[in-house]
Chains A and B, each alone.
Chain A
Amino acid sequence: MIVEFGDGIDTGINAMVRALAGRIEASRPSWLIETVPTYRSLAVYLDPWETCRDEAMAWIRSLCSSIETPRFAGEPAIEIPVCYGGGFGPDMERVSLHTGLPAAEIIRLHSSPVYHVFMLGFSPGFPYLGGMDQRLETPRLENPRTLIPAGSVGIAGKQTGVYPLQSPGGWNLIGRTPLKLFDPSRKNPFLVKAGMEIRFVPVSEDKYPVLPSSGEVPGR
């Protein structure tokens, strides 16, 4: 079952999606398997053993009419340390050529904003982030790489993100974080969830090996 809230990438619409997900999850109805919040819609997976689809739909409809855009939660943004450029960011030069900005400015622009996590998808723990400075916009590589190391930070068009697992991909890689966004052996396997805010913090290359990789971010 899909509930759609509007058509556009917008933090207000996205907040409504998460508000409905929160209301449904909090009530733990017996037919619920899970909810999947995305940019502008909420997928609700129903247990096929339960035969109360119509009631479930009516109940969700009634919740929708009373959903209010939640006030900003005020949680501090998660800080993600990133070593920019060099071996960690092999496409820094490409981004620099395309945008006409020097590497130092790219790093400054990329690490300034607070990014909103609209949703997770594509691969386990992969955050779809909103809020990148549009001056950094760079098209995807024409020939995607067959293997990108976990933790790589990239730019694709108007988007930026972090690869939680090593995988193929066509994003422009500008840096890497030692933080594991996904680790199935941790009690909480995922570092971020939809609705959170994150910031990228530049760190020097020699600090990379000593940075923590666990999800236990200081101050959280």
Chain B
Amino acid sequence: MITVLAPGLLTTVQDLGRWGFQAFGMPVAGAMDVYSLMAGNAVVGNIPGAAGLEITLTGPELRFDSPGLACVAGGDLGPLLNGFPVSSWEGIRVSEGDVLSFRGAASGGARAWVCVGGGVDVPLVMGSRSTYLRGGLGGHEGRRLKRDDVLPCGNPDTLWPRGEGFCVPSSLRPQVTGEPQVRVIPGPQEDMFSPEGVDSFYNSGYSVGSESDRMGYRLEGPAVEHSNGADIISDAVAQGSIQVPGHGFPIVMLADRQTTGGYPKIATVINADLQLLSQMAPGDGLTFRRVQVSEAAEASRKMMEALRTIRSLAADYRSRPAKYRGRSRMSGNMRLCFGGDCYDVSWSAFDGQGDN
């Protein structure tokens, strides 16, 4: 079990989404970056679709009520265990009563996912544990977490301690640097825009507007001109669809998007670059670059390949005899005080015995 001591800005239970009901108008929801969620799940030994907590900008304060393995994946929001820094993308052993909190992002990064061995075990609603906020369903009581919520967790695999210290290689973590160039496939309604409109879409910088959330990001920048009105006969809206309503400012549709819409879509963000968007906060800048479907498919394939690699590295790590695992160590935190000056110190040492 996990007890929420403080909820943070927006913390929700998410998995890979509630697929299969879009034909009935049911939004998919799910993690804004499924790659990070799946990677975090691999670190703690879960199946890829186990539910975790999606945290936004200002992280929550969570108390673990039983021992287990946890991993914070995604943007670096400065995770702390009992007040001392711990690494993201690493298997962290937590004991009963340990408190995970967040210092805040040091350098970019807007969202992270907390995965725990066994997964967050809220009830399945229509095949998923994802929270759909506007519909008030799924997740924990259909809403964002608040103080004193208690979240049940599933049973971790019995050899979970072997995952402690496994770290996702940095080459397999999403790289977010500076102002991202987000790759898009043109259309499906690029022909609803004037040549000048298309030109300003690809050759201008945009920034994420303040009215941006899990449903979509409203972009600020030069307006994109339509050639003949801004209405289409409503059709499907995908994750990454970029709608342009009559006012000309693009809206990128994301996890909690509605399934259909009546505004023309100038382009669609490729699957592999949705993770870039998930790390953007209001005020952050971006530009768009047009790519071929083949490049999008290749980027998607690479992303899936990276996940396979993480899973296989994690499995190897757990199957190695304990004494060969370099990160087997004893560690702790203490406060040293010398005549009124206090220092928080974390220490670690190889225990020489291995474990398990």
The answer to whether B300 touches A48, judged by C-beta atoms less than 8 angstroms apart, is: yes
B23 touches A37 (CB 8 A): yes
B271/A38 in contact, CB under 8 A = no
CB < 8 Å A-B pair total: 97
In residues 153-176 of chain A, which contact B (Cβ within 8 Å)?
A: 164-165, 167
User: Which of B152-160, B169-177, B203-211, B232-240 contacts the other chain?
Assistant: B232-240
Interface size on B, as a range, is 20 to 34
Flag if A121 contacts B234 (CB, 8 Å).
Answer: yes
What chain A residues lie within 8 Å of B324 (beta carbons)?
A: none
Task: Please tell me if B137 contacts chain A, counting CB pairs below 8 Å.
Answer: yes
A38 to B, closest residue via Cβ: B235
Which A residues touch B23, using CB under 8 A?
21, 34-37, 120, 193-194
**Among B22, B137, B297, residue most surrounded by chain A Cβ atoms (within 10 Å):** B22
Interface flags for B15-52 (1: CB within 8 Å of A; 0: not) read 00001111111110000000000000000000000000
Q: In the complex the two chains form, is A40's CB within 8 Å of B233's CB? A: yes
Q: How far is the CA of A53 from the CA of B238 in the complex (A)?
A: 17
Contact indicator A36/B304 (Cβ below 8 Å): no
A39 touches B24 (CB 8 A): no
Known contacts A38-B260, A43-B236, A43-B238; is-contact A53 B297 (Cβ 8 Å): yes
Which among B126, B233, B260 is the interface contact of A9 at CB below 8 angstroms?
Answer: B233
Interface residues on A, range: 35 or more
A184 CA to B293 CA in the complex, in Å?
36
Does A2 sit within 8 A of B, measured CB to CB? yes
Report chain B residues within 8 Å CB of A106.
Answer: none
Which of chain A's residues has its CB closest to B239's CB? A45
A2 lies within 8 A of B235 (CB): yes
User: For the complex, is B97 an interface residue (Cβ under 8 Å from A)?
Assistant: no
Contacts of A194 in B (CB 8 A): 23
7 contacts between A and B (CB under 8 A): A33-B20, A39-B234, A43-B22, A51-B297, A120-B24, A121-B260, A124-B135
